[in-house]
Structure 1
Amino acid sequence: MKLLRHHDGTLFRDLNHNGTMEPYEDPRLPVADRVADLLARMTLAEKAAQMCHGRIFTLNPGVFPEESAELSDLGITNFLLMTMPGPGVMARWNNHLQDLAAARRLGIPVTLASDPRHGFAANPLVAHLTGGFSRGPEPIGLAATADGALVEEFAAAAARELRAVGIRVAVHPMADLATEPRWARIHGTFGEDAGLASRMLVAYIQGFQGGADLGPDSVACMVKHFPGGGATADGEDPHFSYGRFGAYPGGNLDYHLRPFRAALEAGCAQVMPGYGIPAGTGMAEVGACFNRDVLVGLLRERFGFDGVICTDFNLLAGMTIPGRGTLPARNWGVEHLPLEEQVRMLLDADVDQFGGETRPELIVDAVRSGAVTEVRIDASVRRILRDKFRLGLFDDPYVDADAAEELVGAAETRALGRTVQQRALVRLTGDPLPAGGRIYVENVGPEAAAAYGTVVARPEDADAAVVRLGAPYEERDGFLEGGFHAGSLEFPAEELDRLRKLGAAVPLAVSVCLDRPAVLTGLVDGTALLLGDFGAADDLVLDVVFGRAQAVGRLPFDLPSSMRAVEESREDVPFDTADPLFRFGHPSAPRTTPDAPPGRSAGTGPHAQPDASAEGEDYA
């Protein structure tokens, strides 16, 4: 769209195609005035479309449709990206979508959003590796660095890459606390301690948004999953019906709210409530997105949040991933109610956007039936438009495709990501191995290992062995469930026996990717060096194994000593497993001894919450 020049010389985008500069097109006016003018021009159907946040699953490189049904027919302008092409193609896709949006009656620009793309996790629902972005560790690894300045620097670099391709909303970070060790999404959190998590969240949001106020250089953060998804019954995930209940046997909801309060005070622009039912909290026992107690009572009134609330995705309609699998609706606690009543409950809970929904008629029908007023709809649309204006999308939603290809994955940002990966590595026990000899490796690229010695095929021919492992989990049926590492945290007995034999034959270094707090009891005595990583390149791990670099990270959670201890712990209470093998903050925190007294009820035993973190003064 070409810029026009107002008679006083002001350049503007003629979004409604009438040749004059309307107040909402005037870049000189305050955002509130522009929002008010645009809102007054919108039909109910146009307002309802803004309250739908759709998904785009596949961007076929080089194929640009003449129209998008969701954009052209319905007017939806908010989309979560799933699979993505390379940065140049993605940037051109953004510009094409913006052209489609600009051709509509009011020219409201598209806002593109994304789940995390800068780590190592690959999950079809919650984390993606497509797009060519620079890699750091998982967010739990950012916490392991305990370095707020480094986290802010990496977050700012990640935001620059996202902006370069047109992504302006980060559907992250997670403010959930990792108090239930079995939960499959711990890798996306900042750990078990509310103080450390709060500090990391503030740094992360500062890096993405650039401050408490959004601007044209911001990527807005959508913090999730309010009021906290980490306290989930038996560690099961609420993407699935058997994981729909939260669990608060310790009455510890306020502890889980602390990181959210920190994120809100840091100015996070948007919030996503979770799917789960906050059982045992005294609040209504329906999913958080439908829950007025949660969203109005806590988020709006107690915490004073007036930003956008977007539901977790596909509450009402479920979701099918093409060629992959199908999930049902995740309307936990209200499944028995008619769809119209579920919509009314969402709106009564002050939800602004319906994640994954592309049916604005649901909202239109709610108004026409008298279930809600148009004034209520206006309040949500005002918040949604405000963020579009603050992000500068009304004035310039386009990106430079050539610049995107140069910036995304550039050497400087990749190097920064590698620095953060390395800084997150944790030495659990042992000392480096001598380099220069014969090396046997498992789950390590031979080409990377060749820089440290001669790679051999059999352990009996080696002077040293290096094995990389993922944290244990239970294999479950279904493609979508397979992406969630849940269940037991213990290695199978036969695997431990195999590794002990390997360690007896040759000095053995083992690095375990701690996407969850694995039980490592059977590995401690059989290894010469035991490391924890949170997503790291092979050569960075090998640098530590062979003494070229030090592991300076610290555990962002306790590592339990057994599954029995996990099963007997309370889901909502931090540091609640009896006699943990390694403590939060290790290696600076002392390792507990096997005969240490439990002390759970008093909270003073070796596995109780560290005193230093009680008021957010964590180990850094």
Structure 2
Amino acid sequence: MKRNQSNRLIRHLPLALLLAGMACNSTQPGSGSEAVTTAKVSYRDLNKNGRMDPYEDRSQPIEARVNDLLSQMTLQEKAGMMFIYGTFINDDGTIVKKPDTKGMAARLPTAGESITGKYMNHFNFWEAPDTRALAMGYNAIQQEAENTRLGIPVTIASDPRNHFSESIFSMAASGFSQWCEPLGLAAIGDEELTRQFADIARQEYIAVGLREALHPQVDLATEPRWARIGGTFGEDAQLSARMAKAYILGFQAEELGPNSVACMTKHFSGGGPQKEGLDPHFEFQKGQVYPGNNFDYHLIPFEAAFEANTAAIMPYYGVPVDQTDENVAFAYNKAIITGLLRDKYKYDGVVCTDWGLITDVNMGTTIWPARAWGVEHLSEEDRVKKIVDAGVDQFGGESVPELVVKLVQDGKLTEARIDESVRRLLRQKFQLGLFDNPYVDVENAVKVLSNPAFKAAGEASQRRAMTLLKNDTQVLPLQQGRLKLYVKNVDPKVAAQYGTVVDNPKEADMAIIRLKAPWYPVETKNPFAKSFHHGDLDFKGKEKEEILQLLKTVPTVVDIYLDRPAVIPEISQNAKALLADFGASDTAVMDVIFGVAKPEGNLPFELPSSMEAVRNQKEDVPYDSKDPLYKFGYGLRYQ
């Protein structure tokens, strides 16, 4: 096909002009502007050959487009697609390294380096700038991808960004609406609200170019010491299943399309039952255990995710001890990935490992070993082979596509097997509409992420999720403006809006204290491991004495943030009122205490009565500790 002069000019328009044209046409990815216009049809000439290939033709069925592009890809391009790695965007929206680049960005390659040097087109962010810079940087990354031989667009993935959170796995909000954590959604138990949350988060994600959610986390919190409970929906399989399905439908809709965010549901087949709660991110973990023979219980939320057509699945790091024919981690385990996930559940979506299963990480003072549990003896190359042979499509947090290339060239993997995985990954990109328009409208992004209705909905969820556990003599709600208040771990400026703040608890009518569920770092040289909330669930020593002293000095309302269960029998006994929150601002907490809003939550897990009871319960069984202080589902209401 011979192009005219205007077509050649359109194909080479500068990015700024191209984006301006897209802004006039649409603000939604997938509906955008094409680089070439003929008398009959418009298209993006991604491979720059002057004609419309089937993969560039949006009128073609997706499978035809996948087949055409796959036939044009080199082995190196296919291998690059099988890896997802971190990247960064600077505060000014650029994506290049600068002399003053610091933090994680300084340790990461630029997106351009990974795209051109490694043929990669899947990335995730940890740190992110403000909305405008984030959208600008995303467009710059897509421009880098468009300039490659085949113009394959980039998919950007992210951990949760919409929670008022203490979790290291929930990214800084950076302009996104701030909701309660998933535990809070489970505490509210309203499927319509969970779907509304996901739909709003979807709109915010799409506005800035985030097209894959590395969530929901549907593991069951049956081991109360586990450090990652905060990202779950609690310990009940049926409640988690209801929340998971609503969540995925909110992000993806009934069918994955140009207005969807693809969900990567994790961590198959359920990461909750860790021995002693020690997380398998780290070598001190002791395996995933099933003393209650309750393996199948942990599959129930994933079955709901399959019903909702989750676009991707992530297995966890742990070893399901004595559950299969070999004690190796889930992503290496063919019985889990092929036998259970692919064959039993007929799952044909993308399967991506959790981050860092192949290569060790030099952390300066220590080496963080690859999470190759059970196969530590294998070389990096053989680890890749075993994961692919198990049935996995993509490697999270890794950037070694050359190992896949070598395995094929050496005859240890077939290119046909690589094609299976690349086909799934390409299909998802086409379904999301990325080939037709991967760019975002920067001004629209700013508008969407400043939507006051979205902000208000998130803030309301923080209040609704609060769970009233004790209310002696119906002391709550307090009367606003009439009391002298002593506050601890509450912003005095916020508290002053509700009463007169005093510095001495003995002068107060009422004290209000905010606590966080206790945790105790594992002894390790790994600084990342030290930030995980491991260890016992009870307050100890001086900290406990100071809390109880306050409770005995003045009538006290206690609010405790629960990112996992806490053992607090003495605090409960001595508090005048006790509330649990699952991610809430000081204002949200004070609004509930003073009756501006009402607590609507019910506990998504039980609160054990002692550490002895915790140690005696079974890691894989829900709500099974002896004589719990507060049972699963408990929650009072105001009269």
Which range moves more in the overlay, 487-496 or 169-178? 487-496
SS at match of 1:33: helix
Aligned-residue offset at 1:474: 0.4
Alignment correspondent of 2:201? 158
Cα separation, 1, equivalents of 2:197 and 2:450: 13
Q: Which amino acid aligns with 2:156?
A: L
Q: Which amino acid aligns with 2:183?
A: I
Alignment correspondent of 2:411? 370
Cα separation, 2, equivalents of 1:392 and 1:340: 34
Match of 1:74 among 96, 113, 118: 118
Aligned-residue offset at 1:409: 4.0
Alignment correspondent of 2:79? 48
Identity of matched residues, %: 47
5 Å-filtered alignment, 1:575-614, equals: 575-587=623-635
Alignment correspondent of 1:210? 253
Residue 289 (structure 2) pairs with residue 247 (structure 1): yes
Cα separation, 2, equivalents of 1:196 and 1:75: 41
Cα separation, 1, equivalents of 2:418 and 2:581: 46
TM-score by length of 1: 0.92
Match of 1:341 among 382, 391, 403: 382
1:115-159: CA deviation from partner (whole Å, max 9, x where unpaired)? 1111133555x3211532111011111100100000100111011
Alignment correspondent of 1:596? none
Alignment correspondent of 1:558? 606
Residue 636 (structure 2) pairs with residue 572 (structure 1): no
Say if 1:280 and 1:409 are closer, same or farther in 2 by CA, change over 3 A.
farther
Alignment correspondent of 2:31? none
Say if 1:233 and 1:409 are closer, same or farther in 2 by CA, change over 3 A.
farther
5 Å-filtered alignment, 1:109-508, equals: 109-122=153-166, 126-211=169-254, 213-243=255-285, 245-319=287-361, 327-430=368-471, 431-432=475-476, 433-435=478-480, 436-476=482-522, 478-508=526-556
Q: Which amino acid aligns with 1:584?
A: F
Is the contact between residue 308 and residue 352 of structure 1 (CA under 8 Å) also seen in structure 2? Answer: yes
SS at match of 1:263: helix
Cα separation, 2, equivalents of 1:251 and 1:282: 13
Alignment correspondent of 1:11? 42
SS at match of 1:112: strand
Q: Which amino acid aligns with 1:113?
A: A
Alignment correspondent of 2:8? none
Q: Which amino acid aligns with 2:41?
A: T
Alignment correspondent of 1:96? 140
Aligned-residue offset at 1:93: 0.6
Cα separation, 2, equivalents of 1:95 and 1:214: 22
1:531-571: CA deviation from partner (whole Å, max 9, x where unpaired)? 00000111111122223322111000111001110101110
Aligned-residue offset at 1:99: 0.5
Which range moves more in the overlay, 537-546 or 227-236? 537-546
Alignment correspondent of 1:27? 58
Cα separation, 1, equivalents of 2:90 and 2:173: 11
In structure 2, stretches of 5+ residues that fail to align are: 1-10, 12-17, 19-33, 98-110
Say if 1:328 and 1:57 are closer, same or farther in 2 by CA, change over 3 A.
farther
Aligned-residue offset at 1:508: 0.2
Is the contact between residue 116 and residue 128 of structure 1 (CA under 8 Å) also seen in structure 2? Answer: yes
1:44-78: CA deviation from partner (whole Å, max 9, x where unpaired)? 11100100111115634343439721111221000
Is the contact between residue 499 and residue 526 of structure 1 (CA under 8 Å) also seen in structure 2? Answer: no
Is the contact between residue 283 and residue 294 of structure 1 (CA under 8 Å) also seen in structure 2? Answer: no
Aligned-residue offset at 1:195: 0.4
Structure 1 residue ranges, 4+ long, deviating more than 4 angstroms after superposition: 4-8, 323-326
Is the contact between residue 325 and residue 480 of structure 1 (CA under 8 Å) also seen in structure 2? Answer: no
1:373-424: CA deviation from partner (whole Å, max 9, x where unpaired)? 1000000000000000000000000001111112114321110001111110
Say if 1:119 and 1:326 are closer, same or farther in 2 by CA, change over 3 A.
farther
1:198-246: CA deviation from partner (whole Å, max 9, x where unpaired)? 00000100111122x2111100000011111101111010101122510
Q: Which amino acid aligns with 2:128?
A: M
Which range moves more in the overlay, 177-186 or 55-64? 55-64
Q: Which amino acid aligns with 1:183?
A: W
Is the contact between residue 344 and residue 372 of structure 1 (CA under 8 Å) also seen in structure 2? Answer: yes
In structure 1, stretches of 5+ residues that fail to align are: 590-620
Across the two proteins, how many residue pairs are aligned to each other? 586
